[in-house]
Amino acid sequence: MEDMEQERKRMEKLSNPQVTIETIKKYDFAFQKKFGQNFLIDGHVLDKIIAAAGVTRDDVVLEIGPGFGTMTQYLAEAAREVIAVEIDKALIPILQETLKDYDNITLINEDILKVDIAALVDEKNGGKPIKVVANLPYYITTPIIMGLFESHVPLENITVMVQKEVAARMQAGPGTKDYGALSLAVQFYANPYIVANVPPNCFIPRPNVGSAVIRLTRWDKPPVSVRDEKFMFALIRASFNQRRKTLQNSLVNGGVGVTKDQVVNALEQMGLSATIRGEALTLEQFAGLADILSQCIP
């Protein structure tokens, strides 16, 4: 009897495509391309996201882009409290309706890039780390994730749905075609793990690309130590701006304020070839290079 009741509740949720379609019709909702709106309608994928994030009754979860509230419903049942930040004001009355049965959700109509998340964490969780869950619009994935890490908001992990290729880049290692500035930036702050690949038919409307769920578990402290974090990332960006060039040419022309001789000497000190490319260096080697070159800049 209990199993039947659970199944009935599940069928009433937005993860049932029929319920989502009825909601679209009821509110005459028009999907906004500028917000990259593709709503997840697969309960199995939602279960995987909640499990991967490790959401428990002790947790405060920040959800970015709740859409109709499909994942929010699942989160509200698993977490102590959910803070859902939605940029599209047309979705707010819909969310107020779809989430009316839950008393542990705070709904905020705002651009996540403009929200003072640290203040929210203080208010809702006494400054203790939160978990972030999101089905992110692909065009803004990197600014949101890097914004969360660079602002040093107290967080335990970020579990997000992103474009499959972006997930591959976050997890890539040196010498591979997917390895780049994003790989190094993410891996400096967190340990990336691809949880699941998600085909287009799990969304309304269907996106043109495959998606993946990736969990980024924040390091207690970064895996490498570096004197000047900002300078290291400036070197990394310059190194990958023109992948075909050698590292020394990329850095000399990359506006980071170093000369060819300084780069050659630094590479020599590290036992690296003068013709090496940026894609061959590990995060640890970039940190070492930054420490040497930062002393050359007045």
For residues 152 and 241, state if they share a domain.
no
For residues 66 and 147, state if they share a domain.
yes
Residue 105 lies in a domain: yes
Nearest CA among 21, 31, 42 for reference residue 201: 42
Name, in order, each residue with C-beta under 8 angstroms of 33's C-beta and a sequence gap of 6 or more: none
Q: Could you tell me the residue range of the domain that residue 87 belongs to?
A: 2-218
| CA pair distance 289, 287, nearest whole angstrom | 5
Percent of the residues in the chain that have a pLDDT greater than 70, as a whole number: 96
pLDDT category at 141 given cuts 50, 70, 90 is confident
pTM of the model: 0.90
> Is the pLDDT reported for residue 124 higher than 50?
yes
Residue 52 lies in a domain: yes
Q: Looking at residues 268-294, what average pLDDT do you find?
A: 95
User: What ranges make up the beta strands (E) of 28-113?
Assistant: 39-40, 60-64, 81-86, 105-109
Count of domains forming the chain: 2
Helix (H) or strand (E) holding 11, with range, is helix 2-12
SS3 label, residue 142:
helix
Whether the ω angle into residue 223 lies within 30 degrees of 0, i.e. cis, is no
For residues 14 and 131, state if they share a domain.
yes
For residues 251 and 198, state if they share a domain.
no
For residues 289 and 164, state if they share a domain.
no
Single out the residue in 218, 246, 281 at which a domain terminates: 218
Residue 223 lies in a domain: no
For residues 145 and 176, state if they share a domain.
yes
Query: How many Cα atoms occupy the beta-carbon half-sphere of 97 within 13 Å?
Result: 14
Single out the residue in 179, 195, 218 at which a domain terminates: 218
For residues 206 and 240, state if they share a domain.
no
Which CATH number is 30's domain given?
3.40.50.150
For residues 63 and 181, state if they share a domain.
yes
Residue 284 lies in a domain: yes
Backbone angles phi, psi at 212, to 5 degrees: -145, 150
pLDDT category at 3 given cuts 50, 70, 90 is low
Q: Name the burial class of residue 268, with classes exposed (0-12), middle (13-18) and buried (19+) by CB atoms within 10 angstroms of its CB.
A: exposed
What tokens appear for 278 in the block?
């940026």
